[in-house]
């Protein structure tokens, strides 16, 4: 029984490189913006060349840094905004946590 290969976005590498360049960041600076302390600049190069794919967590971080929906990164039919960072504000969609104690 064969195994189907999973979908790989063909434009992902180009979009990741485009984001970093539009933000005017080096690969090392991009790592800092992403909060990726366990990833090397060489790995960013691999993502941008298409040699490797970033984890879901890293894709979310790219979306937040670039202020775009992650769907824009993954969907080959979607295009990046002309100007980056975009206008998507993640905090508007973040789950609100009620920290008030329940004193019933």
Reply yes or no on whether the pLDDT at 1 is more than 70: no
Q: Phi and psi at residue 40, in whole multiples of 5°?
A: -95, 160
Query: What are the pLDDT digits (tens) for 39-93?
Result: 888 999 999 999 999 999 999 999 999 999 999 999 999 999 999 999 988 877 7
Domains of the chain: 12-90 (1.10.260.40)
pTM here is 0.82
Task: Report d(CA 67, CA 50) in Å as an integer.
Answer: 22
Residues 58 and 30: beta-carbon distance below 8 Å:
no
Burial level of 68, CB count in 10 A (0-12/13-18/19+)? buried
pLDDT at 13: 97
Q: Tell me the CA distances in angstroms from 55 to 16, 47, 68, one per residue in order.
A: 13, 10, 17
């Amino acid at each position: 029984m064969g195994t189907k290969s999973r979908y790989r976005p063909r434009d992902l590498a180009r979009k990741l490189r485009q984001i970093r360049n539009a933000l005017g960041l080096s690969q090392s600076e991009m790592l800092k913006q992403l909060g990726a302390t366990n990833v090397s600049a060489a790995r960013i190069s691999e993502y941008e060349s298409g040699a490797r794919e970033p984890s879901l967590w890293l894709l979310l971080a790219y979306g937040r840094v670039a202020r775009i929906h992650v769907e824009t990164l993954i969907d080959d039919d979607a295009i990046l905004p002309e100007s980056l960072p975009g206008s998507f504000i993640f905090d508007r969609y973040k789950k609100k946590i009620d920290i008030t104690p329940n004193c019933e």
